[in-house]
């Protein structure tokens, strides 16, 4: 996928020719649905398969706040919005009546210049107060990362890639070992910091240190 920006700038979309579609073509659900619709395997018609995948990935990706009302009519459970990166959007989430938000830049893989989620977390948490539940996602790899997010206003921290790495290496046991490692680090780090429990995680134990290079790079 690394060539996508350059190709798109040149009005060349390699996906429709089956280039760079391995993620889709190896997905069992996509393969099954393609066969049901076309009566053949993906490998028998790469172009048709690629076009199906492009339609899935690049259609219906724009959403509006008005869609929340539709979701609330169809779903009586809690609604949590992921991808909140600004206090104004967090306040809008309260206005439309969702129960929670996830402060996230999707692991930095969508927009490389996006501000870090941890940087925005305190401001967003202050804006919403206790009016909805604030979760955190993006870049949490250790127990210390979890402590930082909880201390800056998150009620819970979502773990994304680490357990997938464990799953890929060791299956179910690998995923479990990764999570056990994060929990062990979390427990040990709380003890070393003199924290008895998650309720003691607050900004009083956090300090942000700016280095000369950080200051210079922001000018």
Catalytic residue among 38, 63, 86, 106: 106
Place of tokens 């179910």: 172
Vertex 61, ends 58 and 66: CA angle to 5°? 160
Place of tokens 């062990």: 184
106 among known catalytic residues: yes
**Closest by CA position to 104, among listed 133, 134, 142:** 134
Q: In whole angstroms, give the CA distance from residue 105 to residue 82.
A: 9
- Strands (DSSP E) contained in 28-72 are none
Vertex 101, ends 95 and 104: CA angle to 5°? 130
Residues acting as catalytic residues = 106
């Amino acid at each position: 996928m690394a060539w996508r920006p350059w190709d798109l700038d040149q009005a060349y979309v390699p996906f429709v020719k089956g280039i760079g579609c391995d993620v889709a073509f190896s997905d069992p659900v996509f393969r099954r649905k393609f066969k049901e619709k076309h009566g053949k395997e993906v490998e028998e018609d790469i172009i048709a398969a690629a076009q199906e995948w492009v339609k899935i990935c690049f259609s219906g990706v724009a959403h509006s706040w008005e869609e929340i009302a539709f979701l609330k009519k169809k779903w009586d459970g809690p609604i949590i919005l992921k991808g909140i990166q600004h206090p104004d959007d967090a306040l809008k989430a309260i206005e439309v009546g969702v129960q929670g938000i996830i402060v996230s830049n999707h692991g930095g893989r969508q927009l490389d210049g996006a501000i870090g989620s941890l940087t925005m977390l305190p401001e967003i948490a202050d804006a919403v107060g206790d009016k909805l539940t604030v979760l955190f996602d993006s870049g949490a790899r250790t127990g210390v990362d979890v402590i930082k997010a909880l201390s800056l206003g998150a009620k819970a921290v979502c773990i994304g890639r680490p357990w997938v790495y464990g799953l890929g290496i060791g299956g179910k046991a690998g995923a479990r070992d990764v999570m056990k490692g994060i929990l062990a680090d979390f427990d040990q780090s709380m003890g070393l910091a003199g924290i008895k429990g998650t309720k003691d995680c607050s900004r009083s134990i956090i300090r942000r240190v700016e280095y000369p290079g950080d200051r210079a790079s922001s000018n």
